[in-house]
Chain A
Amino acid sequence: MKHAYTWGAILAVVLASTTGDVLLSRAMKRVGDVGELWRRTGLLSVAGRILRNPGFLLGIFMMALAFYSLLFALSWADVSLVAPASASLTFVANAIAARIFLHERVDHRRWMAALLVAGGVALLAA
Chain B
Amino acid sequence: MTFRKYLVLAGVTLFAAIGDSFLARGMQQIGNISLPRLPDIILTILNPWIALGILFLLAFFAAYMTALSWADLTYVLPATSLGYVLLALIARFLLHEQVSTMRWLGIGLISAGVGFVTRGPALTHPPDEDTAKGVPEPVGSRMEP
Contacts and interface: CB of A to CB of B under 8 A. Distances in A.
Contacts of A122: 106
Interface in B27-86: 65-66, 68-70, 72-78, 81, 84
A123 B77 contact: no
A123 B81 CA distance: 14
A120 B66 CA distance: 26
Interface string A81-108: 0000000000100110011001111110
Contact of A120 (B106, B132, B142): B106
B116 interface: yes
**Chain A contact residues (Cβ within 8 angstroms of B): what range?**
35 or more
Contacts of B8: 35
Nearest to B82: A117
B65 A24 contact: yes
Contact of A123 (B5, B105, B130): B105
Interface string A30-47: 111111000000000000
A116 B77 contact: no
A31 B73 CA distance: 15
B103 interface: yes
Q: Main SS of chain A's interface residues?
A: helix
Contacts, number: 136
Contact of A109 (B84, B119, B130, B132): B119
A117 B109 contact: yes
Interface string B82-110: 00100010000000000010110111111
Nearest to A109: B120
A34 B81 CA distance: 22
A16 interface: no
Nearest to A114: B78
A61 to B, nearest CB: 14
A110 B120 contact: yes
Nearest to B76: A25
B107 A29 contact: no
Given A32-B127, A94-B73, A98-B74, A124 B88 contact: yes
B78 A110 contact: yes
Interface string B121-145: 0001101011010010100001000
A91 B78 contact: yes
Interface of A: 21-22, 24-26, 28-35, 50, 91, 94-95, 98-99, 102-107, 109-110, 112-117, 119-124, 126
